[in-house]
Structure 1
Protein backbone atom coordinates (compact mmCIF):
# COMPACT_ATOMS: atom_id res chain seq x y z
CA UNK A 1 0.00 0.00 0.00
CA UNK A 2 1.43 3.29 -1.12
CA UNK A 3 0.93 7.03 -1.03
CA UNK A 4 0.99 7.80 -4.75
CA UNK A 5 0.86 11.57 -4.38
CA UNK A 6 0.49 14.35 -1.83
CA UNK A 7 -1.82 17.04 -3.19
CA UNK A 8 -2.14 20.66 -2.06
CA UNK A 9 -4.66 23.32 -3.04
CA UNK A 10 -4.42 27.05 -3.59
CA UNK A 11 -7.32 29.47 -3.19
CA UNK A 12 -8.86 30.21 -6.58
CA UNK A 13 -11.98 32.04 -7.68
CA UNK A 14 -15.07 29.94 -8.43
CA UNK A 15 -18.73 30.64 -9.04
CA UNK A 16 -19.62 27.37 -7.32
CA UNK A 17 -18.54 28.17 -3.77
CA UNK A 18 -20.46 29.69 -0.85
CA UNK A 19 -17.31 31.38 0.44
CA UNK A 20 -17.84 35.10 1.00
CA UNK A 21 -14.99 36.01 -1.35
CA UNK A 22 -15.92 33.40 -3.96
CA UNK A 23 -12.82 31.28 -3.34
CA UNK A 24 -12.21 27.55 -3.12
CA UNK A 25 -9.18 25.35 -2.48
CA UNK A 26 -10.74 22.18 -3.90
CA UNK A 27 -8.44 22.05 -6.93
CA UNK A 28 -5.40 20.22 -5.53
CA UNK A 29 -2.17 19.37 -7.33
CA UNK A 30 0.55 16.82 -6.57
CA UNK A 31 3.70 18.31 -5.05
CA UNK A 32 7.28 17.13 -4.86
CA UNK A 33 9.21 16.95 -1.63
CA UNK A 34 8.15 16.47 1.98
CA UNK A 35 4.94 17.91 3.42
CA UNK A 36 4.28 18.38 7.13
CA UNK A 37 0.97 17.01 8.44
CA UNK A 38 -0.44 17.99 11.83
CA UNK A 39 -3.72 18.56 13.68
CA UNK A 40 -5.06 21.88 12.34
CA UNK A 41 -7.35 22.52 15.31
CA UNK A 42 -11.16 22.76 15.53
CA UNK A 43 -13.29 23.28 12.46
CA UNK A 44 -14.19 26.89 11.96
CA UNK A 45 -10.70 28.06 12.85
CA UNK A 46 -8.49 25.17 11.72
CA UNK A 47 -8.13 24.38 8.03
CA UNK A 48 -6.18 21.59 6.40
CA UNK A 49 -3.80 19.31 8.24
CA UNK A 50 -1.24 19.68 5.46
CA UNK A 51 1.16 22.59 5.51
CA UNK A 52 0.64 24.73 2.42
CA UNK A 53 -2.86 23.39 1.65
CA UNK A 54 -5.51 26.11 1.58
CA UNK A 55 -9.11 25.58 2.69
CA UNK A 56 -11.35 28.59 2.15
CA UNK A 57 -14.76 27.61 3.52
CA UNK A 58 -13.87 26.80 7.13
CA UNK A 59 -17.50 26.49 8.23
CA UNK A 60 -17.89 23.15 6.48
CA UNK A 61 -14.38 21.90 5.69
CA UNK A 62 -11.14 21.19 7.50
CA UNK A 63 -10.49 21.01 11.22
CA UNK A 64 -9.38 18.16 13.45
CA UNK A 65 -11.81 15.52 12.16
CA UNK A 66 -11.25 16.39 8.50
CA UNK A 67 -7.54 17.13 8.59
CA UNK A 68 -6.71 14.86 5.64
CA UNK A 69 -8.85 13.57 2.77
CA UNK A 70 -7.78 10.35 1.04
CA UNK A 71 -9.03 8.87 -2.23
CA UNK A 72 -7.92 5.68 -3.98
CA UNK A 73 -6.32 5.83 -7.42
CA UNK A 74 -8.27 2.66 -8.25
CA UNK A 75 -11.54 4.55 -7.73
CA UNK A 76 -10.31 7.48 -9.81
CA UNK A 77 -9.51 4.98 -12.58
CA UNK A 78 -13.06 3.61 -12.46
CA UNK A 79 -14.44 7.14 -12.69
CA UNK A 80 -12.12 7.82 -15.63
CA UNK A 81 -13.66 4.90 -17.48
CA UNK A 82 -17.21 6.00 -16.67
CA UNK A 83 -16.69 9.68 -17.48
CA UNK A 84 -14.49 9.09 -20.51
CA UNK A 85 -11.92 11.66 -19.44
CA UNK A 86 -8.58 11.62 -17.59
CA UNK A 87 -8.58 12.40 -13.88
CA UNK A 88 -5.29 13.48 -12.38
CA UNK A 89 -4.31 12.80 -8.78
CA UNK A 90 -5.92 15.45 -6.59
CA UNK A 91 -8.79 16.20 -8.98
CA UNK A 92 -11.40 15.07 -6.46
CA UNK A 93 -9.88 17.42 -3.91
CA UNK A 94 -8.02 14.66 -2.10
CA UNK A 95 -4.82 15.36 -0.16
CA UNK A 96 -3.62 11.76 -0.43
CA UNK A 97 -4.04 9.67 -3.56
CA UNK A 98 -3.43 6.07 -2.52
CA UNK A 99 -2.69 2.76 -4.25
CA UNK A 100 -3.46 -0.74 -3.00
CA UNK A 101 -5.56 0.48 -0.06
CA UNK A 102 -9.31 -0.12 0.25
CA UNK A 103 -10.15 3.40 1.40
CA UNK A 104 -13.93 2.92 1.33
CA UNK A 105 -13.65 -0.40 3.15
CA UNK A 106 -11.64 1.21 5.96
CA UNK A 107 -13.43 1.14 9.30
CA UNK A 108 -14.17 4.25 11.32
CA UNK A 109 -11.36 4.40 13.90
CA UNK A 110 -8.94 2.47 11.69
CA UNK A 111 -5.40 3.79 11.96
CA UNK A 112 -2.85 4.20 9.18
CA UNK A 113 0.88 4.72 9.52
CA UNK A 114 2.07 6.80 6.57
CA UNK A 115 5.81 7.00 6.07
CA UNK A 116 7.98 6.84 9.15
CA UNK A 117 6.12 9.10 11.55
CA UNK A 118 2.58 10.15 10.57
CA UNK A 119 -0.29 8.30 12.25
CA UNK A 120 -3.85 8.95 11.02
CA UNK A 121 -7.28 7.74 12.13
CA UNK A 122 -10.28 7.35 9.84
CA UNK A 123 -13.21 9.53 10.98
CA UNK A 124 -15.82 9.69 8.22
CA UNK A 125 -16.67 9.73 4.54
CA UNK A 126 -16.67 12.73 2.24
CA UNK A 127 -20.11 14.16 1.45
CA UNK A 128 -20.31 15.73 -2.05
CA UNK A 129 -21.16 19.42 -2.26
CA UNK A 130 -22.09 21.85 -5.02
CA UNK A 131 -18.52 23.14 -5.25
CA UNK A 132 -17.32 19.62 -6.06
CA UNK A 133 -20.07 19.23 -8.67
CA UNK A 134 -19.44 22.63 -10.21
CA UNK A 135 -15.70 22.30 -10.49
CA UNK A 136 -15.92 18.80 -11.98
CA UNK A 137 -18.61 20.00 -14.41
CA UNK A 138 -20.46 16.70 -14.83
CA UNK A 139 -24.27 16.52 -15.12
CA UNK A 140 -26.08 15.24 -12.01
CA UNK A 141 -22.70 14.70 -10.41
CA UNK A 142 -23.78 14.76 -6.75
CA UNK A 143 -26.44 12.11 -7.44
CA UNK A 144 -24.04 9.92 -9.42
CA UNK A 145 -21.25 10.21 -6.88
CA UNK A 146 -23.67 9.39 -4.07
CA UNK A 147 -25.09 6.35 -5.85
CA UNK A 148 -21.60 4.92 -6.39
CA UNK A 149 -20.88 5.06 -2.63
CA UNK A 150 -17.10 5.35 -3.07
CA UNK A 151 -16.66 8.66 -1.25
CA UNK A 152 -13.12 8.44 0.09
CA UNK A 153 -12.16 8.98 3.72
CA UNK A 154 -11.47 11.87 6.05
CA UNK A 155 -8.85 11.31 8.72
CA UNK A 156 -7.61 13.02 11.87
CA UNK A 157 -3.98 13.30 12.90
CA UNK A 158 -3.03 11.12 15.88
CA UNK A 159 0.71 11.67 15.60
CA UNK A 160 2.07 14.43 13.33
CA UNK A 161 4.70 13.70 10.75
CA UNK A 162 6.17 14.47 7.38
CA UNK A 163 5.19 12.57 4.23
CA UNK A 164 6.03 12.51 0.54
CA UNK A 165 4.89 10.66 -2.57
CA UNK A 166 6.03 7.03 -2.53
CA UNK A 167 5.72 6.57 1.23
CA UNK A 168 4.35 3.25 2.43
CA UNK A 169 0.93 3.12 4.10
CA UNK A 170 0.36 0.48 6.78
CA UNK A 171 -2.92 -0.30 8.53
CA UNK A 172 -1.74 -0.61 12.14
CA UNK A 173 -5.13 -0.88 13.84
CA UNK A 174 -8.46 -2.17 12.52
CA UNK A 175 -11.42 -1.99 14.93
CA UNK A 176 -13.62 -5.02 15.58
CA UNK A 177 -16.87 -3.32 14.45
CA UNK A 178 -18.15 -3.32 10.85
CA UNK A 179 -18.78 0.40 10.38
CA UNK A 180 -16.80 1.19 7.25
CA UNK A 181 -16.45 4.46 5.38
CA UNK A 182 -18.90 3.14 2.79
CA UNK A 183 -21.45 2.07 5.43
CA UNK A 184 -21.22 5.47 7.12
CA UNK A 185 -21.70 7.22 3.78
CA UNK A 186 -24.70 5.12 2.78
CA UNK A 187 -26.30 5.67 6.19
CA UNK A 188 -25.98 9.44 5.88
CA UNK A 189 -27.01 9.75 2.24
CA UNK A 190 -28.98 6.71 1.06
CA UNK A 191 -30.14 4.30 3.77
CA UNK A 192 -31.23 6.09 6.92
CA UNK A 193 -32.15 2.83 8.62
CA UNK A 194 -28.40 2.15 8.90
CA UNK A 195 -27.85 5.20 11.10
CA UNK A 196 -28.30 3.55 14.54
CA UNK A 197 -25.65 0.97 13.70
CA UNK A 198 -23.02 3.68 13.27
CA UNK A 199 -22.84 4.01 17.04
CA UNK A 200 -20.88 0.74 17.05
CA UNK A 201 -17.86 2.82 15.97
CA UNK A 202 -17.77 4.35 19.45
CA UNK A 203 -15.67 7.40 20.23
CA UNK A 204 -14.06 7.38 16.78
CA UNK A 205 -17.33 8.45 15.13
CA UNK A 206 -17.23 11.98 13.70
CA UNK A 207 -19.14 14.39 16.01
CA UNK A 208 -21.36 15.53 13.12
CA UNK A 209 -22.28 11.92 12.35
CA UNK A 210 -23.04 11.23 16.00
CA UNK A 211 -25.39 14.22 16.12
CA UNK A 212 -27.14 12.98 12.98
CA UNK A 213 -27.64 9.55 14.55
CA UNK A 214 -28.92 11.03 17.80
CA UNK A 215 -31.40 13.24 15.93
CA UNK A 216 -32.62 10.23 13.97
CA UNK A 217 -33.05 8.16 17.14
CA UNK A 218 -34.95 10.96 18.85
CA UNK A 219 -37.34 11.31 15.90
CA UNK A 220 -37.93 7.60 15.38
CA UNK A 221 -37.72 6.30 18.94
CA UNK A 222 -35.30 3.62 17.81
CA UNK A 223 -32.33 2.21 19.72
CA UNK A 224 -28.80 1.74 18.39
CA UNK A 225 -28.32 -1.59 16.64
CA UNK A 226 -25.40 -3.27 14.97
CA UNK A 227 -24.55 -1.94 11.53
CA UNK A 228 -25.02 -4.28 8.64
Structure 2
Protein backbone atom coordinates (compact mmCIF):
# COMPACT_ATOMS: atom_id res chain seq x y z
CA UNK A 1 0.00 0.00 0.00
CA UNK A 2 1.24 3.48 -0.85
CA UNK A 3 2.74 5.21 2.17
CA UNK A 4 2.99 1.98 4.18
CA UNK A 5 4.95 -0.83 2.58
CA UNK A 6 4.85 -0.22 -1.17
CA UNK A 7 8.64 -0.03 -1.45
CA UNK A 8 9.16 -3.27 0.48
CA UNK A 9 9.80 -6.58 -1.26
CA UNK A 10 9.06 -9.97 0.28
CA UNK A 11 11.24 -12.90 -0.74
CA UNK A 12 11.29 -16.39 0.84
CA UNK A 13 14.90 -17.01 1.89
CA UNK A 14 16.14 -19.76 4.18
CA UNK A 15 18.15 -18.85 7.26
CA UNK A 16 21.82 -19.77 7.11
CA UNK A 17 21.57 -21.49 10.51
CA UNK A 18 18.86 -23.72 9.06
CA UNK A 19 21.12 -24.67 6.14
CA UNK A 20 23.95 -25.58 8.53
CA UNK A 21 21.68 -27.65 10.77
CA UNK A 22 20.30 -29.48 7.73
CA UNK A 23 23.82 -30.29 6.52
CA UNK A 24 24.75 -31.44 10.03
CA UNK A 25 21.77 -33.81 10.19
CA UNK A 26 22.55 -35.17 6.73
CA UNK A 27 26.16 -35.82 7.78
CA UNK A 28 25.24 -37.41 11.10
CA UNK A 29 22.56 -39.73 9.74
CA UNK A 30 24.11 -40.27 6.29
CA UNK A 31 21.15 -38.77 4.44
CA UNK A 32 21.41 -38.12 0.72
CA UNK A 33 21.28 -34.40 -0.14
CA UNK A 34 19.51 -33.55 -3.39
CA UNK A 35 19.13 -30.22 -5.14
CA UNK A 36 16.18 -29.10 -7.24
CA UNK A 37 15.64 -25.92 -9.21
CA UNK A 38 12.31 -24.30 -10.08
CA UNK A 39 12.40 -22.80 -13.57
CA UNK A 40 10.75 -19.36 -13.82
CA UNK A 41 9.55 -19.66 -10.24
CA UNK A 42 7.82 -16.27 -10.05
CA UNK A 43 5.66 -17.09 -13.07
CA UNK A 44 3.99 -19.82 -11.01
CA UNK A 45 2.52 -17.35 -8.52
CA UNK A 46 -1.20 -16.65 -8.33
CA UNK A 47 -2.19 -12.99 -8.04
CA UNK A 48 -4.79 -12.04 -5.44
CA UNK A 49 -4.91 -8.35 -6.37
CA UNK A 50 -6.05 -6.78 -9.60
CA UNK A 51 -2.88 -5.67 -11.39
CA UNK A 52 -2.98 -3.36 -14.40
CA UNK A 53 0.12 -3.00 -16.58
CA UNK A 54 0.96 -0.68 -19.42
CA UNK A 55 1.41 -2.33 -22.80
CA UNK A 56 5.13 -2.96 -23.53
CA UNK A 57 6.61 -0.27 -25.86
CA UNK A 58 7.04 -2.53 -28.90
CA UNK A 59 3.45 -3.75 -28.74
CA UNK A 60 2.14 -0.29 -27.96
CA UNK A 61 3.70 1.13 -31.13
CA UNK A 62 2.09 -1.61 -33.21
CA UNK A 63 -1.36 -1.35 -31.63
CA UNK A 64 -1.37 2.46 -31.40
CA UNK A 65 -4.04 2.40 -28.71
CA UNK A 66 -4.40 3.53 -25.12
CA UNK A 67 -5.37 0.09 -23.84
CA UNK A 68 -3.72 -1.53 -20.83
CA UNK A 69 -3.13 -5.14 -19.76
CA UNK A 70 -4.80 -6.91 -16.87
CA UNK A 71 -2.44 -9.54 -15.50
CA UNK A 72 -3.72 -13.04 -14.83
CA UNK A 73 -0.37 -14.38 -13.60
CA UNK A 74 2.59 -12.93 -11.73
CA UNK A 75 5.52 -11.58 -13.73
CA UNK A 76 9.14 -10.89 -12.90
CA UNK A 77 9.46 -7.29 -11.76
CA UNK A 78 6.24 -7.23 -9.74
CA UNK A 79 6.75 -6.72 -6.01
CA UNK A 80 3.96 -9.24 -5.39
CA UNK A 81 5.67 -11.99 -7.41
CA UNK A 82 8.01 -13.47 -4.74
CA UNK A 83 5.24 -13.63 -2.16
CA UNK A 84 2.71 -14.99 -4.66
CA UNK A 85 5.15 -17.75 -5.66
CA UNK A 86 5.97 -18.71 -2.09
CA UNK A 87 2.29 -18.66 -1.16
CA UNK A 88 1.44 -21.15 -3.89
CA UNK A 89 4.43 -23.34 -3.07
CA UNK A 90 3.58 -23.40 0.65
CA UNK A 91 -0.03 -24.32 -0.14
CA UNK A 92 1.17 -27.17 -2.35
CA UNK A 93 3.47 -28.55 0.37
CA UNK A 94 0.74 -28.38 3.04
CA UNK A 95 -1.75 -30.15 0.77
CA UNK A 96 0.81 -32.94 0.35
CA UNK A 97 0.88 -33.57 4.10
CA UNK A 98 3.97 -31.54 5.00
CA UNK A 99 4.28 -29.29 8.04
CA UNK A 100 5.83 -25.84 7.91
CA UNK A 101 8.46 -24.95 10.50
CA UNK A 102 7.56 -21.99 12.67
CA UNK A 103 11.25 -21.22 13.27
CA UNK A 104 11.96 -20.96 9.54
CA UNK A 105 8.97 -20.81 7.22
CA UNK A 106 11.02 -22.01 4.25
CA UNK A 107 11.52 -25.41 5.91
CA UNK A 108 8.95 -28.18 5.35
CA UNK A 109 9.03 -31.67 6.86
CA UNK A 110 6.95 -34.83 6.93
CA UNK A 111 7.12 -37.87 9.22
CA UNK A 112 6.00 -41.29 8.02
CA UNK A 113 4.24 -43.97 10.05
CA UNK A 114 7.38 -46.11 9.87
CA UNK A 115 9.45 -43.42 11.58
CA UNK A 116 11.05 -41.96 8.45
CA UNK A 117 11.35 -38.25 7.78
CA UNK A 118 11.52 -36.11 4.63
CA UNK A 119 12.80 -32.53 4.77
CA UNK A 120 12.62 -29.79 2.13
CA UNK A 121 14.24 -26.36 2.32
CA UNK A 122 13.49 -23.70 -0.30
CA UNK A 123 15.45 -20.52 -1.03
CA UNK A 124 13.37 -18.58 -3.60
CA UNK A 125 13.79 -21.06 -6.49
CA UNK A 126 16.53 -23.36 -5.12
CA UNK A 127 15.47 -26.44 -3.14
CA UNK A 128 17.34 -28.88 -0.90
CA UNK A 129 15.65 -32.25 -0.39
CA UNK A 130 16.87 -34.78 2.16
CA UNK A 131 15.72 -37.37 4.68
CA UNK A 132 15.66 -41.15 5.12
CA UNK A 133 12.32 -41.90 3.45
CA UNK A 134 13.33 -42.63 -0.14
CA UNK A 135 9.81 -43.59 -1.20
CA UNK A 136 8.39 -40.29 0.02
CA UNK A 137 11.19 -38.31 -1.61
CA UNK A 138 10.53 -39.99 -4.95
CA UNK A 139 6.81 -39.25 -4.59
CA UNK A 140 7.48 -35.62 -3.71
CA UNK A 141 9.79 -35.14 -6.70
CA UNK A 142 7.12 -36.58 -8.96
CA UNK A 143 4.39 -34.34 -7.53
CA UNK A 144 6.62 -31.25 -7.70
CA UNK A 145 7.38 -31.93 -11.35
CA UNK A 146 3.66 -32.20 -12.12
CA UNK A 147 2.85 -28.93 -10.35
CA UNK A 148 5.86 -26.81 -11.32
CA UNK A 149 8.63 -26.75 -13.90
CA UNK A 150 11.31 -28.56 -11.88
CA UNK A 151 14.88 -29.38 -12.87
CA UNK A 152 16.64 -32.07 -10.83
CA UNK A 153 20.30 -31.16 -10.27
CA UNK A 154 21.32 -34.36 -8.50
CA UNK A 155 23.51 -34.41 -5.40
CA UNK A 156 23.91 -31.05 -3.66
CA UNK A 157 27.18 -29.43 -4.78
CA UNK A 158 26.73 -25.65 -4.73
CA UNK A 159 24.13 -23.72 -2.76
CA UNK A 160 23.98 -19.98 -1.96
CA UNK A 161 27.64 -19.47 -2.77
CA UNK A 162 28.68 -22.46 -0.65
CA UNK A 163 30.48 -25.45 -2.13
CA UNK A 164 29.44 -28.81 -0.69
CA UNK A 165 31.87 -31.72 -0.94
CA UNK A 166 30.92 -35.26 0.08
CA UNK A 167 33.37 -37.88 1.30
CA UNK A 168 33.53 -40.94 3.52
CA UNK A 169 34.66 -38.67 6.39
CA UNK A 170 31.68 -36.35 6.21
CA UNK A 171 30.41 -33.25 4.45
CA UNK A 172 32.79 -30.36 3.89
CA UNK A 173 31.62 -26.90 2.91
CA UNK A 174 33.65 -23.87 1.86
CA UNK A 175 33.27 -20.60 -0.01
CA UNK A 176 36.50 -20.70 -1.96
CA UNK A 177 34.72 -20.30 -5.31
CA UNK A 178 32.57 -17.44 -3.99
CA UNK A 179 35.67 -15.60 -2.71
CA UNK A 180 37.62 -16.16 -5.94
CA UNK A 181 34.69 -14.92 -8.03
CA UNK A 182 34.48 -11.83 -5.80
CA UNK A 183 38.22 -11.15 -6.19
CA UNK A 184 37.99 -11.68 -9.95
CA UNK A 185 35.04 -9.29 -10.21
CA UNK A 186 36.92 -6.54 -8.36
CA UNK A 187 40.23 -7.15 -10.17
CA UNK A 188 41.99 -8.27 -6.97
CA UNK A 189 42.63 -11.89 -7.88
CA UNK A 190 46.40 -11.36 -8.30
CA UNK A 191 46.79 -9.37 -5.07
CA UNK A 192 49.13 -10.68 -2.37
CA UNK A 193 48.13 -11.46 1.19
CA UNK A 194 48.67 -8.78 3.83
CA UNK A 195 48.64 -9.05 7.63
CA UNK A 196 46.65 -5.81 7.92
CA UNK A 197 43.93 -4.33 5.69
CA UNK A 198 45.70 -0.91 5.58
CA UNK A 199 49.33 -0.09 4.90
CA UNK A 200 51.15 0.58 8.23
CA UNK A 201 51.97 4.21 9.04
CA UNK A 202 49.82 5.42 6.16
CA UNK A 203 49.14 9.17 6.39
CA UNK A 204 45.72 10.23 5.20
CA UNK A 205 45.12 13.71 3.87
CA UNK A 206 42.29 15.65 2.34
CA UNK A 207 41.61 14.65 -1.25
CA UNK A 208 41.84 17.54 -3.66
CA UNK A 209 39.50 15.84 -6.08
CA UNK A 210 37.04 13.12 -5.23
CA UNK A 211 37.38 10.18 -7.62
CA UNK A 212 34.28 9.00 -9.43
CA UNK A 213 32.70 6.08 -7.60
CA UNK A 214 30.21 3.63 -9.08
CA UNK A 215 27.58 3.71 -6.34
CA UNK A 216 25.82 0.56 -7.56
CA UNK A 217 29.05 -1.46 -7.81
CA UNK A 218 30.11 -0.27 -4.35
CA UNK A 219 26.78 -1.27 -2.79
CA UNK A 220 26.91 -4.70 -4.45
CA UNK A 221 30.46 -5.24 -3.17
CA UNK A 222 29.54 -4.24 0.38
CA UNK A 223 26.50 -6.53 0.24
CA UNK A 224 28.60 -9.47 -0.91
CA UNK A 225 31.19 -8.85 1.80
CA UNK A 226 28.46 -8.69 4.45
CA UNK A 227 26.97 -11.93 3.13
CA UNK A 228 30.41 -13.53 3.18
CA UNK A 229 31.03 -12.45 6.78
CA UNK A 230 27.66 -13.91 7.82
CA UNK A 231 27.98 -17.20 6.00
CA UNK A 232 31.66 -18.10 5.98
CA UNK A 233 32.51 -20.27 8.98
CA UNK A 234 36.27 -19.52 9.23
CA UNK A 235 36.55 -19.81 5.41
CA UNK A 236 35.97 -23.57 5.49
CA UNK A 237 33.46 -25.41 7.63
CA UNK A 238 33.54 -29.15 8.11
CA UNK A 239 30.74 -31.22 9.49
CA UNK A 240 32.10 -34.53 10.74
CA UNK A 241 30.01 -37.62 10.32
CA UNK A 242 29.31 -38.86 13.82
CA UNK A 243 28.01 -42.38 14.13
TM-score (norm: length of structure 1)? 0.25
Which has the larger helix fraction? 2
Using structure 2 for the length normalisation, give the TM-score: 0.24
Larger Rg: 2
